[in-house]
Amino acid sequence: MYRKSQDSLKAWKDRSSRKPLVLRGARQVGKTFQVRQLAENFSNFIEINFDKTPDKKLLFKDSDVKKVLQLISVDCGTIITPGKTLLFLDEIQAAPEIFAKLRYFYEDIPELHVIAAGSLLDFILEEHVFSMPVGRVEYLYLGPMSFEEFLIARDESILVDYYGKYNINDEIPLSIHEKSMNQIREFCIVGGMPAAVKTFCSDYNLDIVHREHQSIHQSYQNDFSKYGHRINTQRLEKVYRSLPALIGKKMKYSAIDPEERAKPLADSIHMLEKARVLHKVYHSSSNGVPLAAERNEKNFKPIFLDIGLLNSALGLKLSALHLCNDLVTVHDGSMCEQLIGQHLLYAKQDYYEPEIHYWSREKKNAAAEVDYIISHDQDVIPVEVKAGKTGRLKSLQQFIAEKKPSAALRFNSDTPSLVTIKKDSHSCKFYSLPFYLTEQQGRILTK
């Protein structure tokens, strides 16, 4: 299945100034598949999985990289030719001492293509007890499949091309709008985990898709014992199962367990964040870019890795959802917030660390909250998500009056529109886009 990250991988392959590449992302988002697909562009391919074959670590004991490659070549029965061989070190978190040696591949044999990946890699990056190869490796972040990638897997490339050429002043015919809303509804059900998408495209059986979701959930929970020696796996399971009901809400630990202390629950959430199973939408004062400069670490809302996994975790029956015309209103609109959130999270180029923010003002009788805040060039853009075609925009208007952005954005189920909002002496362009144009928001805002 096509992934946009494949274009980035090919660009890395052809770049003379490349460094060893490290893929970061949750389990089962397709890291290994992407590397194997890239390998078709090489004369030979060597894959070492340190989780399945931990003894392979012994091949890397020597500090001389050329001797290491000689041992790998003998072990695999393959001649390694820099520039023609792709060396893939998978599940490298199981061999952190080898992660530290990536710097020597860059310094001694820069022409060799080396990729490393690991589903729980962020744990060793945070708790490393070795010399980090700072400046000698580069990162690429991979999330679940996006809506447009889902469409391409469904043989709807023509529709994706249409989105890519859409202009905000163009009128979208009702039939195309309805078709697109049906497609986004299916994406909300299936989600973007590659195994679930593949199952759906092959069988079109939502019960089998649901089974695939449950298998992924179980694989995540099976990993809990690998998160650290001091973590309470029962508490971690409790947090994991509670989070789907908290999507779009400011985190209050009492909502997970009113009898549990906040610190252990916060530690569990931190662990799930490191596994990239959930992401924190941090509060930002949003006075300028970068948004993270005014981030409040203690004030955040959670979003899940994937909307399909979210639905199955909530126990929603997929076959019933498939018949629901108002799918986007399910679960108090949190599904819409998840849908937009997971796309905005990875909206930047994939070598950027994924991040996302929101804004709120908690004054008595004047509370306001904007679902998401994004940066576009040097502008701060407020983003509201509304489940239906209409909805009050009081908080958005308060943000416009206070922060005076050049543009504001709303996602809903209606056709696109562009108007000008005036607050006092300030004018702001207000873009309203349907959910299926989420990935086009950056291009549309630029015009």
Q: What is the pLDDT of residues 251-307, one digit of tens each?
A: 999 999 999 999 999 999 999 999 999 999 999 999 999 999 999 999 999 999 999
Q: Note whether 313 and 351 are within 8 A (CB).
A: no
- Give the model's pLDDT for residue 171: 96
CATH-assigned architecture of domain 5-141: 3-Layer(aba) Sandwich (3.40)
Please name which of 90, 81, 71, 76 lies closest in space to residue 42, comparing C-alpha atoms: 81
Distance of CA 320 to the CA centre of its chain: 27
Q: How confident is the model at residue 388 (pLDDT cuts 50, 70, 90)?
A: low
Amino acid 253: pLDDT: 95
Mean pLDDT of the chain: 92
- 288 burial level (CB within 10 Å; 0-12, 13-18, 19+): middle
* Region(s) of the chain under CATH 3.40.50.300: 5-141
Neighbours of 171 (CB within 10 A): 8
Q: How far apart are CA 429 and CA 421, in angstroms?
A: 6
pLDDT of residue 326: 56
Phi-psi label, residue 129: left if phi above 0, alpha if psi -120 to 50, beta otherwise: alpha
CA–CA gap between residue 264 and residue 331 (Å, rounded): 28
Mode of pairing for the β-strands spanning 379-385 and 407-412: parallel
Any idea what the Cα angle at residue 363 is, between residues 357 and 367, rounded to 5°?
60
Q: Over pLDDT 70: what percentage of the chain? A: 94
Better pLDDT: 124 or 255: 255
Mean pLDDT of 407-434: 93
| Least confident stretch, 147-151, 325-329, 389-393 | 325-329
Percent of the chain exceeding pLDDT 90 equals 79
Cα 99 to Cα 23: distance, rounded to the nearest angstrom? 12
pTM of the model: 0.93
What mean pLDDT is predicted for residues 326-344? 79
User: Has residue 327 got a pLDDT over 60?
Assistant: no
Q: Which residue has the tokens 């690429």?
A: 140
pLDDT at 132: 76
pLDDT for position 79? 95
Beta bridge partners of residue 432, listed in sequence order = 410, 417
Average pLDDT over residues 140-161: 98
- Tell me if 116 sits within 8 A of 20, measured CB to CB: yes
pLDDT band of 314, cuts 50, 70, 90: confident
